[in-house]
Amino acid sequence: MSQKQSFKKDIESARRDFPVLSQLINGCPLTYLDSGASAQMPQSVVERLNNYHAKEHANIHRGVYQLSERATQEYEDARKKISEFLNARKAEEIIFTRGTTNAINLVANSFGREFFKAGDEIIISYMEHHSNIVPWQMLCEQLGTKLKVVPISDVGELDMSVFGELLNERTKLVAITHVSNVLGTVNPVNEITAMAHDCGAKVLIDGAQSAPHMPVDVQDIDCDFYVFSGHKMCGPTGIGVLYAKMDLLNRMRPYEGGGDMILSVSFDKTLYAEVPAKFEAGTPPIAAAIGLGSAVDYLNNIGMSVIHEYEQSLTKYAMDSLREVSDLKFFGTSPTKSGVISFNVKGIHAHDMGTLLNDYGVAVRTGHHCAQPVMERYKVPATTRASLYLYNTRDDIDVLVESIRKVQKLFN
Amino acid sequence: MSSKQIYQEVILDHCKKPRNWGKIDNPTHKAEGINPLCGDHIWVTMNVRDDTVDDIQYEGESCAICMASGSMMTTKIKGGSLVAASKLIDDFRALTTGALENTEEKTLGSLSIFSGIRDLPSRVKCAMLPWHTLTAAINSQGEVSTEGDHDPVPGSGTDK
C-alpha cells in the first residue's frame, strides 16, 4: 500500500480523466450531478473495455485455447480486485451479478426462499430503494413471511430505538441501505449488524450508494451480504456484485440453472458447481466484469479515503451554497450525510426544475428516485436530486446554484 | 427551441393565470387524472348539451407543463362539439409525439408550442395528462392514470 502511495493520483485533476464531461449541452459545459443514478467512466476504463473487445474476447471457463484462458484470467482477476476492495476473506465470496437489483433478488430467492418460512420476519427501512423493498414483498407473498419497516426521522435518520423494538427471534433478515439514495444519510451499519446478529438474524447491506464513495470493509461491518452496482462506481452497466459469507453461499441454492453452474449433468441427477460458479449460470458479462476491475484500479489509485474526504468537503460546500437559495427546502439533513442532496424550490415542480436546469447544461435527477415511501414520508410527489462524485468541483456547485436562481427568476 | 423559451412563451403565462380553473358543480361529464410518476393529480369537469361542450373546467396539482396544457385545452374545447374535441385530442397526441405533419400543426394554433415537448420525451406524459383525462371525461371513465400508457416514447418517465 505504502509503496503505491507515491504514484497516487491527485483528485483535483481527476475531472480530466472523464471524456464525457468535456462536452457542451445546450451550449453550456455539462455539469453532471447525477452520479447517484449512474457515474461516468474514466478514459482508462473506456480503454480497458475497448481493448478487451478489440483484442481479448473469448468465452471463459471453457476453452483450452490461449484467448479463452486469458479472458478467464482477467475475469477472475477482476473478482480478486473486488474482494480486496471490500476486504472480503476470499475472492470466491464475490459473486458477479447484473447489478444491485439482481444481487438482492438472488439473495431473496437463494437464501430467503430456502431458509425462511411463514411467520418469519424481514426488517427493512423507510428509506430503501424499491430494489430493496419489492424482492422482499414478493418473497413475503410466496412464503407468508412478514415485512417490518423501520421509520425515519425528519432529518432523515433511521429510528434506531424502533429498530431495536422490531428485532426479535422471528427476525430472519435485516436488509438496510448503507447510504440513502434520496436523503444521503449514512446509516450505522456496524451497529445495525451487531444488533441483528444478537437476535440471530442475518444482515444484507445495500451498498449501491456507499461502495463508490467510501472505504468499505465487509469484515469490519460483519454483514452477511453486501451488494452494489458497477455503473455507479466508474464501471460499465450490466455488472454488479454480491458479497456473501462463504458458509452462507455454500448453504444457499443456485439462483439460476444453466451452463457454468454445474459439476455434472445427467437426467438422474445434476451436481452443482462450487461457489462462486454455482451462482453464475450462463456466459456472464465478461467485459463488464473486467471493466469493473479496471474501475476499482482507478478508484484505488486515488484512494477511497481521499475520495470520501473530498466528497464530504464538497457536500458541505454544496449544502452551504444551496442554503442561501430562497425558498429551497432540503430532504435529508443528517450530520452523517454523503453527497446525495435532495431539495425542492417552492412553487416549482421538480420536473420543471430538472427540465429547465438542462437548458444550462446541468444534469440532475428529478422524480421519486425509486423510493416512493420516502416521498410519502415527506409528503412530496418528487424532489430534485444533485448527487456528487469525485470528478465534481465547486464550480459545478456554483453553476447549479446560479442556474436554480435563473429558473426561480423565470417563474417569478 | 430551448425549454426556457417554451416555458417563457406560453407555459408560464397559463400557469400564473390558468383559464377555466375550477370544478363545475354537478357536471354532466367528469374525470380525474393521475400521473403517479410526478404526483400530478387533476380534475376535468364538463357540461355537455346536445353534443356541445357548454362549459369545461380544469383544476389540479401538477407541474407547469401539465397545468398549461390543461389550461390551454379548456380554451380550445369550450363551446365546440364533442366530435371536434375528440379530433383535437388525437391531433394533440400526434403533435407531442412527432406524428403530426407540419401543415396540420398550424391548425392547432397556440397549442403548437407543445411540439417542443418532442425534444423532452420524458415530459410528454405531463402534457398529455389533461387530454387523457378529457378523453376519460367524454367517455366518463372516471379516473385515468398515465401508468401503462402506451403512447409516449417507450421507456419515457421510467424512474430509477
- For position A396, which CATH number holds? 3.90.1150.10
* Judgement on whether residues A231 and A219 belong to the same structural domain of the protein: yes
Residue A2 has pLDDT above 60, yes or no: no
Torsion sign, CA atoms A225, A231, A236, A238: positive
Can you give the pLDDT at residue A106? Answer: 98
Can you give the pLDDT at residue B156? Answer: 36
Domain that includes residue A167, residue range: 47-301
pLDDT tens digits, one per residue of A9-68: 788 789 999 999 999 999 999 999 999 999 999 999 999 999 999 999 999 988 889 999
Can you give the pLDDT at residue A3? Answer: 43
Chain A residues within 8 A of B69 when measuring between CB atoms: none
Cα–Cα dist A48/A15, whole Å: 18
Which of the listed residues A260, A284, A301 is the one where a domain comes to its end? A301
* Judgement on whether residues A206 and A129 belong to the same structural domain of the protein: yes
Task: Specify whether the CB–CB gap between B42 and B68 falls below 8 A.
Answer: no
Can you give the pLDDT at residue B145? Answer: 65
Q: Let me know if residue A317 belongs to a domain.
A: yes
Which of the listed residues A250, A271, A301 is the one where a domain comes to its end? A301
Tell me if A352 and B64 make a contact (CB, 8 A cut-off).
yes
Domain B3-142 CATH (choose: 1.10.3720.10, 3.40.50.300, 3.90.1010.10, 3.40.50.2000):
3.90.1010.10
Tell me if B7 and A356 make a contact (CB, 8 A cut-off).
yes
Beta bridge partners of A203: A174
Which of the listed residues A255, A278, A301 is the one where a domain comes to its end? A301
Backbone angles phi, psi at B76, to 5 degrees: -80, -30
Can you give the pLDDT at residue B36? Answer: 77
Q: Let me know if residue A52 belongs to a domain.
A: yes
Q: Let me know if residue A404 belongs to a domain.
A: yes
This prediction's pTM: 0.91
Per the model's pLDDT, the better-predicted residue between A262 and A289 turns out to be A289
pLDDT tens digits, one per residue of A236-251: 999 999 999 999 999 9
Chain B residues within 8 A of A348 when measuring between CB atoms: 64
Torsion sign, CA atoms B9, B12, B16, B19: positive
DSSP secondary structure letter of residue A392: -
Question: What is the rounded average pLDDT for all residues in chain A?
Answer: 95
Q: Compare CB distances from A410 to B8, B40, B159 and report the shortest one's residue.
A: B8
Average pLDDT, integer, range A250-270: 93
**A24-25 and A28-29 beta bridge pairing:** antiparallel
Can you give the pLDDT at residue B117? Answer: 80
Alpha helices in A244-379 (DSSP H): 246-251, 286-302, 304-323, 350-358, 372-378
Tell me if B3 and A358 make a contact (CB, 8 A cut-off).
yes
Domain count, chain A: 2
Question: What is the residue extent of each domain of chain B?
Answer: 3-142
Can you give the pLDDT at residue B159? Answer: 37
* Judgement on whether residues A187 and A336 belong to the same structural domain of the protein: no
* Judgement on whether residues A150 and A272 belong to the same structural domain of the protein: yes
Cα–Cα dist A207/A221, whole Å: 12
User: Range with the lowest mean pLDDT among A213-227, A312-326, B88-102?
Assistant: B88-102
DSSP E strand stretches across chain B: 29-35, 40-49, 52-61, 142-145
Cα–Cα dist A164/A178, whole Å: 18
Residue B158 has pLDDT above 70, yes or no: no
Chain B residues within 8 A of A359 when measuring between CB atoms: 2-4
pLDDT tens digits, one per residue of B72-101: 999 999 999 999 999 999 999 998 887 776
Instruction: Quickly state the pLDDT bin for B153 (edges 50, 70, 90).
Output: very low
Cα→Cα distances A407→A75, A203, A349, A402, B75, Å: 47, 44, 11, 9, 27
In sequence order, which residues have a C-beta less than 8 Å from that of residue A362 and are 6 or more positions away?
A: A28, A31, A33, A399, A400, A403
Q: Which one, of B107, B99, B111, lies nearest residue B70 by Cα?
A: B111
How many cross-chain Cβ pairs, A to B, lie less than 8 Å apart? 53
Residue A85 belongs to a domain with what CATH number?
Answer: 3.40.640.10
Can you give the pLDDT at residue A91? Answer: 98
Can you give the pLDDT at residue A308? Answer: 97
